């Protein structure tokens, strides 16, 4: 009898821990997120470097599924809402890079740190409202594990005039 209880306990623990694995393909689909094919760096750098349990990602931009970037300056060419959308799209680029690097998003233990850079006019002061597009996405996808430390700042310009560039540090298994 004791053995049966122990066995039952073991089975329930096993199911519980397997239940903790998230079906990210399904989850992304539910959230209406379509991962893109990450571009390859065209110069002497790489998309990500792992050191210990930390994965440092290069700055990603708001690449749409058609391969084109959302461009323009927030405060002049783009509204806050469009900036938010660009930051969300950048988050999708980041998820795509993470998936390509790790194989399985279940390996993400924590989104540690985000540096969100907004291409904006000198008088634009709502960078946080823009970068929320990425932060909201990370929490929607990863739950508590997606909550990160962050800075949201304004840049005078970004490569090829992309609207947003975001770099992150992720703790992985």
By CB under 8 A, name the binding residues for other proteins: 42-49, 51-52, 56-59, 73, 115, 117, 122, 155-161, 165, 167
Q: Tokens for 6?
A: 């122990």
Nearest distance in Å: CB 145, other proteins:
21
- Rounded Cα gap, residues 163 and 85, in angstroms: 10
Min separation Cβ 11 and other proteins, Å: 39
Q: How far is the CB of 165 from other proteins (least distance, A)?
A: 6
By beta-carbon proximity to other proteins, the closer residue of 120 and 137 is 120
Nearer to other proteins, 28 or 116 (CB): 116
Residue pointed to by tokens 């689909």:
29
**At its nearest, how many Å lie between other proteins and the CB of residue 96?**
15
Neighbours of 127 (CB within 10 A): 22
Token readout for 35 is 């991962």
On the CB side of 73, how many CA atoms lie within 13 Å of its CA? 12
């Amino acid at each position: 009898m004791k053995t049966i209880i122990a066995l039952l306990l073991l089975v329930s623990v096993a199911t519980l821990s397997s239940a903790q694995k998230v079906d990210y393909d399904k989850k992304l689909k539910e959230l209406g997120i379509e991962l893109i094919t990450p571009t390859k760096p065209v110069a002497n750098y790489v998309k990500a470097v792992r050191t210990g349990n930390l994965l440092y990602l290069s700055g990603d931009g708001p690449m749409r599924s058609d391969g084109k970037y959302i461009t323009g300056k927030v405060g002049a060419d783009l509204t806050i809402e469009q900036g938010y959308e660009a930051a969300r799209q950048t988050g999708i680029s980041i998820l795509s890079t993470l998936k390509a690097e790790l194989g399985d998003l279940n390996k993400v233990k924590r989104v540690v740190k985000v540096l969100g850079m907004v291409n904006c006019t000198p008088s634009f002061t709502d960078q946080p409202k823009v970068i929320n597009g990425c932060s909201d996405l990370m929490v929607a996808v990863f739950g508590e594990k997606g909550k990160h430390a962050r800075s949201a700042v304004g840049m005078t310009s970004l490569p090829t005039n992309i609207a947003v560039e975001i770099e992150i540090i992720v703790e992985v298994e």
